[in-house]
Amino acid sequence: MTDLTSLISSAVSAKMTPEFVEKEVNTRVEKLIVESIDRALRSYSDTGKLIEKAIDDALRVERLDLPSYGNVVAGILKAQIEAKVAPLVAGQLAADMDELLNLAPKEIKLSEIAADMCKRHEGDGYGEVITVIVEHSDYGTATVYLDEEQVLAEHDRRRSEVQLHIGKDGKLLSATMRGRDLKTTDYVGRSYGLNQKIRAYFACGTTITLDEAAVSTSVGDY
């Protein structure tokens, strides 16, 4: 048994050379970094914190059970991260920004927002399918109530899923979705449909023209 133990120890020691460790770590770390960056950048929110946490976790080499090669592993990790993270992050952020800008034109009409809301209801029959209510103030600003899921009467307008406060210049001063203020609410993950577009408009400073007379909230022939 002693001889077998000695043989195993000798074989392990012979195999665990710095070159072998470097090769194996390089292969696995490269794959791990790519997968981690892809997961970390799937949403627009808290991106910096997620990346910082992932890198911090990756650099905790004391968790690896290879104390004699700790410095080697740390050096490899540092080099891999510097070489891989920057271009991956830049590429993903560029793609996300392109998507955001495609969602948020410089200017858009309220009638265009309403038409897009109605599209999801095409083929479901005819008549009123969404809520679009505009409430003007004495100061030249306006509040727009939007709901792409239900038709609400004017006295129920505050139950709308989306409420936009728009300035004299058409800029979004504030926006709430399901009662949550976009300025003060942390959000992680993607949103879809109307919510996705409103987030993009708010982030990019899209100007909204209130052409209420041209707004249609119905689909089909009626």
Reported as a single tens digit per residue, the pLDDT across 84-114 is 666 666 666 555 555 555 667 888 999 999 9
Its pTM stands at: 0.55
- Which residue has 């959000």 as its token pair? 187
Q: How far apart are alpha carbons 202 and 199 in whole angstroms?
A: 5
- Asked if pLDDT for residue 44 goes beyond 50, the answer is no
pLDDT at 178 over 80: yes
DSSP letter string, 31-71: HHHHHHHHHHTSSSTTHHHHHHHHHHHHT-GGGSS-GGGHH
User: Using 50, 70 and 90 to split pLDDT, how confident is the model at 66?
Assistant: very low
Cβ–Cβ under 8 Å, residues 214 and 111 = yes
pLDDT band of 161, cuts 50, 70, 90? very high
Q: Is the pLDDT of residue 189 over 50?
A: no
Is the per-residue pLDDT at 133 higher than 90? Answer: yes
Average pLDDT, the chain: 76
SS (H, E, C) 68-136: HHHHHHHHHHHHHHHHHHHHHHHHHHHHHHHHHHHHCCCEEEHHHHHHHHHHCCCCCCCEECCEEEEEE
Give the rounded distance of the alpha carbon of 192 from its chain centre.
Answer: 11
